[in-house]
Amino acid sequence: MSEQGSSQGKTYPPDPELSKTANVRPEMKDQDLEEFWDSQAKERISWFEPYDTVLDWQLPYAKWFVGGKLNACYNAVDRHVENGQGDKVALHVVPDDGPDSADAHDITFAQLQEQVVRFANGLKKLGVGKGVPVGIYMQMIPEAVVAMLACARLGAPHTVVFGGFSGKAVAERCNDLECKVLITQDEALRGGKTAAQKTNADEGLDGAGSTTVEKIVVVKRTGGDIPMNDRDVYLDDLVDGESSDAESCPCEPMESEDLLFLLYTSGSTGKPKGVVHTTGGYLTGVATTHNLVFDVKDDSVYWCAADIGWITGHSYITYGPLVNGVTSVLYEGVPGYPNKEVWWKIVEKYNVSILYTSPTAIRSHMKWGEQHAQAHDLSSIKILGSVGEPINPEVWEWYRKHVGGDKAPIMDTWWQTETGHILITPLPGITTMKPGSAQQPFPGVRPEIRDDEGNVLGVEQTGNLVLTAPWPGMMRGLYKDDQRFRDTYWSKYSDAYFAGDGAKYDEDGDIMLMGRLDDVVNVSGHRLSTFEIESALVEHGDVAEAAVAARKDPDTGQAIVAFVSLTGDKTGTEELEQALREQVAQSIGKLARPATVIFANDLPKTRSGKIMRRLLKNLAEGEELGDTSTLVDPSVVDEMKKQIQG
């Protein structure tokens, strides 16, 4: 494929062959948005009862496909079996020790149906049914997907808590949604190491004072010796003797707007936001974007290397690909274990044609060198995807060259937990690609870039990204918090969704994403709240005050820098730094662990007592500090500067 120069740097025009065969058609962009989504909903989703209204839009709440009835599990599993696709592989299951492992196996759609039905029959015995919420706290094992689908089959909303989060996070989320049942696994197995999972959950639930969780279902992953009490039941025992026959547990017909799941995400205050996603619109959105952005065909082998605990796992590991009846890879492990070639072995062994991952993961591979990718036949790759943060142009180039054989187009997909599915992305066979930019709205999506006063900005003017029209997978609010929903997303502008990202149009009309505008840091593509990390730090008895900022990091995108003032005459030692990092890891999870801790007598504050976050950001990034005249005590900044430079 030829490269063309432009004022922005290199661009890559679409492959004419791909333009001919791609699922997405250029005219979709010009379609009326309701017409577009209506035709997609009819084509891709099986409805038990047809809807009568495509869109009922009462800002800020949208209802899509009103009056329609459907079931997410039926769409993801049963209908494929009914359509004669039962023998098709749904999941190539790759365990932690890689594709050569004796435990690697395939699950067909028929087998998936059996597992889901048995699991759902087991859950029914515990009182799970329509509208009864369930928590899921698991690693990347097939039972995690099965558990989500079993909930969906019964009409029970799920909330998946990222398996690397703390037990405290599990308790907080389960209690907020009032989950009756929690599904977890005995131990985690990642990178050759086991870690407590069930015990973490216990500690969190028992430490929370009281909990709504009455039963814990434990999947045996390692068979490790873990404490089990009256509250607990092993999955094997729960489903022992249960039928796996689909008729023994029919898919519950759900209203289009019934809750499918809640996923908690970080906001700029401590309390995580419970993002509400419903059934009909969400499924239409994920199935349509998955099909058109990744150009999936009957024989595609698709691998999304995200985690089930994030929205990417929900939309593009579980629901999107399964609704589309595509064969996927499900990988338990981490990049680099058991060796640096394991990813490429997976691609080679299963003939992966679509790979969707994060800039952070690509940066790790880049650091280890292209020889690992080159040692394997990656010629099956047709489309690459990136998600989670902006992808640096040099990383984009590396990805295309060494993974994409110098020809696979890269779909740099911008979206959020709140948006449910991809909204801004290049399209295969249509878009002339530009490294480092998500570029164009997906059909039916209407972005704008505005200044703080609401003026629509022109070329090269950085402002706030907004969406001026609804889309089917958009959040249906924050759980039990209408006010916070309105304040966070709909108060900056009265007529548009405020995404919280900075953006600009370049001279070709492509959208460049410029990062978050709020107090959220993005480590390895994962959103973490600065406030939550600060709260964890001040839980330590020696800490008086803490403020958290981020600096750029070549591997993780952003890295956390914690500024800490100590109580009394305590001094900052290496042990204390270690203890604080541990404290954060314990309280939130390892991802949130500060890369650097800076100790100071005080934090830089304005006279009105507000911590000057802009300054801390500059300090963390090693930038010029600008005006410090509003500080009470400018000397604290000099002290911090010395430590950062030291």
The nearest distance, CB 106 to ligand 6R9, in angstroms, is 28
Nearer Cβ to ligand 6R9, position 64 or 310? 310
The nearest distance, CB 545 to ligand 6R9, in angstroms, is 27
Q: State how far the Cα of 301 lies from the Cα of 403, in Å rounded to an integer.
A: 15
3-state SS record for 429-481: CCCCECCCCCECECCCCCEEEECCCCCECCECCCEEEEECCCCCCCCCCECCC
Question: What is the DSSP secondary-structure string of 528-585?
Answer: EEHHHHHHHHHTSTTEEEEEEEEEEETTTEEEEEEEEEESTT----HHHHHHHHHHHH
Q: Say which residue the tokens 């507000």 belong to.
A: 610
Nearer Cβ to ligand 6R9, position 60 or 99? 60
The residue ranges that bind ligand 6R9 (CB under 6 A) are 265, 310-312, 387-390, 412-417, 438, 499-501, 513, 516, 522, 525, 527
Q: What is the DSSP letter of 626?
A: -
List phi, psi (to 5°) of 638. Answer: -60, -40
Q: State how far the Cα of 95 lies from the Cα of 113, in Å rounded to an integer.
A: 21
The nearest distance, CB 345 to ligand 6R9, in angstroms, is 27
Q: State how far the Cα of 32 lies from the Cα of 331, in Å rounded to an integer.
A: 39
Residues 141-159 as b or e (16 or more Cβ within 10 Å = b): bbbbbbbbbbbbbbbbbbb
Contact residues for 209 (Cβ-Cβ < 8 A; gap 6+): none
The nearest distance, CB 360 to ligand 6R9, in angstroms, is 11
Nearer Cβ to ligand 6R9, position 187 or 412? 412
Nearer Cβ to ligand 6R9, position 73 or 438? 438
The nearest distance, CB 269 to ligand 6R9, in angstroms, is 16
The nearest distance, CB 266 to ligand 6R9, in angstroms, is 8
Nearer Cβ to ligand 6R9, position 132 or 410? 410
Nearer Cβ to ligand 6R9, position 249 or 311? 311
Q: Are 8 and 434 in contact (CB under 8 A)?
A: yes
Token representation of residue 466: 């907004």
Contact residues for 208 (Cβ-Cβ < 8 A; gap 6+): 168, 171, 172, 175
Q: State how far the Cα of 600 lies from the Cα of 590, in Å rounded to an integer.
A: 24
Helices assigned H by DSSP within 339-421: 342-350, 359-368, 371-374, 393-398
Nearer Cβ to ligand 6R9, position 389 or 519? 389
3-state class percentages of the chain: helix first, strand second, coil last, to nearest 5: 35, 25, 40
The nearest distance, CB 357 to ligand 6R9, in angstroms, is 12
Nearer Cβ to ligand 6R9, position 390 or 444? 390
Nearer Cβ to ligand 6R9, position 65 or 303? 303
The nearest distance, CB 323 to ligand 6R9, in angstroms, is 18
Nearer Cβ to ligand 6R9, position 291 or 583? 291
The nearest distance, CB 514 to ligand 6R9, in angstroms, is 8
Nearer Cβ to ligand 6R9, position 68 or 473? 473
Nearer Cβ to ligand 6R9, position 348 or 621? 621
Q: State how far the Cα of 32 lies from the Cα of 433, in Å rounded to an integer.
A: 25
At 470, which amino acid appears?
P
H-run or E-run covering 410: strand 410-413
Q: How many CB atoms lie within 10 A of CB 645?
A: 7
Chain-centre distance of CA 72, in angstroms? Answer: 19
Q: Are 219 and 235 in contact (CB under 8 A)?
A: yes
- Maximum C-alpha span of the chain: 73
> Up-side HSE of residue 513: CA atoms within 13 Å toward CB?
30
The nearest distance, CB 221 to ligand 6R9, in angstroms, is 26
**Residue number, nearest CB to ligand 6R9:** 417
The nearest distance, CB 114 to ligand 6R9, in angstroms, is 32
The nearest distance, CB 322 to ligand 6R9, in angstroms, is 18
The nearest distance, CB 96 to ligand 6R9, in angstroms, is 24
List phi, psi (to 5°) of 441. Answer: -65, 140
Nearer Cβ to ligand 6R9, position 11 or 358? 358
